[in-house]
Chain A
């Protein structure tokens, strides 16, 4: 059986630090720390659970879950991300499509995507050199209605089973959820941050109560976290992969000028090498 080597979660944006220098630095340092933890776990493959921002997906065809099966990726380049290529992991991704199909999830395969900042920014913090085989797993939160939290949590458990039951014994898999926390985009509430809710999310995750979060109805998550904060589903998915084990918040900053709450989290499954 393969090993879940590390499971972490992080916001996936950074904006200019002017006016919020101290908070921006804490977020940046927090994201650097997440990259260090994943590298310390010495993974053979990195799965980034994130969302596309209508850069690849669009409103003409809206699959709820999409997995990148390409051999390599060139980032879209939005937000100033360098367009340096990095490797995919076709065998891992295609194997997961088959395993998921047998366990109740029909994933859309993507052979041609240019990962936007949702993938590319967290990837930069883990693997700036672009050597680590990486599999993007996209939760389509731009859909109306997006995948439900419970569905994401269940898919996370399927990913855990796939690694532990199907993958080679020597393979070490790191999972990095990306997105959130609360923010509203393109709606009248844009600019709001629900710090109270964000801290509840971090607290539930820390206590291993992922199922409680996953039991939340999608409409409640939308109301409390915003249409951008639905990306918390990505964290819930990762919580399922980690085995609902609990963990620790690494940073949290509600930055009004950036119109979002930003956080980082490490799941502490027994046996993880990262510390």
Chain B
């Protein structure tokens, strides 16, 4: 069971692309806004699937947090390989 505070924090990080970018740029500011403690901050700064699960983070958010923190979304976007060949 996720806490209300953690649920609100994670929902806010992924509320829109701008919020996600703001978290990536300055995570501490977002942590402070949601009053995360040191252990929680450490978990979100260097997340693992298991640690996020222990905090009750939804699996889909676990996946997205790992993508954000590991910078996996900074390379070419998946659709960039295919867009030029679409029809219709």
Contact = CB atoms under 8 A, between A and B. Distances in A.
A210 to B, nearest CB: 27
B58 A16 contact: no
A186 B81 contact: no
Contacts of B41: none
B79 A121 contact: yes
Interface stretch (A122-130, A168-176, A199-207, A267-275): A122-130
Contacts, number: 89
Nearest to B76: A16
Interface in A161-219: 185-188, 190
A32 interface: yes
A19 interface: no
B17 A14 contact: no
B88 A125 contact: yes
B63 A39 contact: no
A186 B62 contact: yes
Main secondary structure of the interface of A (DSSP, over half): loop
Interface in B1-41: 2, 7-8, 10-11, 14-15, 17
A35 B87 contact: yes
B71 interface: no
A79 B60 contact: no
A76 B60 contact: no
A70 B10 CA distance: 27
Contact of A142 (B7, B60, B82): B60
Interface residues of A, number: 36
B83 interface: yes
A106 to B, nearest CB: 24
Nearest to A144: B58
A190 to B, nearest CB: 7
A229 B15 CA distance: 24
Kindly name the residue among B7, B81, B86 whose own CB sees the greatest number of chain A CB atoms within 10 A: B86
B60 A32 contact: no
A76 B52 CA distance: 25
Contact of A15 (B52, B66, B78, B87): B78
B60 A80 contact: no
A54 B14 contact: yes
A36 interface: yes
Contacts of B78: 13-16, 79-80
Contact of B58 (A32, A54, A82): A54
Contacts of A126: 88
Contacts of B86: 32, 35, 124-125, 128
A59 B58 contact: yes
A14 B59 contact: no
B59 A185 contact: yes
B77 interface: yes
B85 to A, nearest CB: 7
A58 B59 contact: no
Interface of A: 13-17, 28, 32, 35-36, 39, 53-55, 58-60, 76-77, 79-82, 121, 124-129, 142, 185-188, 190, 227
Given A28-B82, A54-B60, A124-B86, 13 more contacts: A14-B79, A32-B87, A35-B88, A54-B61, A60-B11, A80-B78, A82-B79, A121-B79, A127-B88, A128-B88, A185-B59, A187-B62, A188-B49
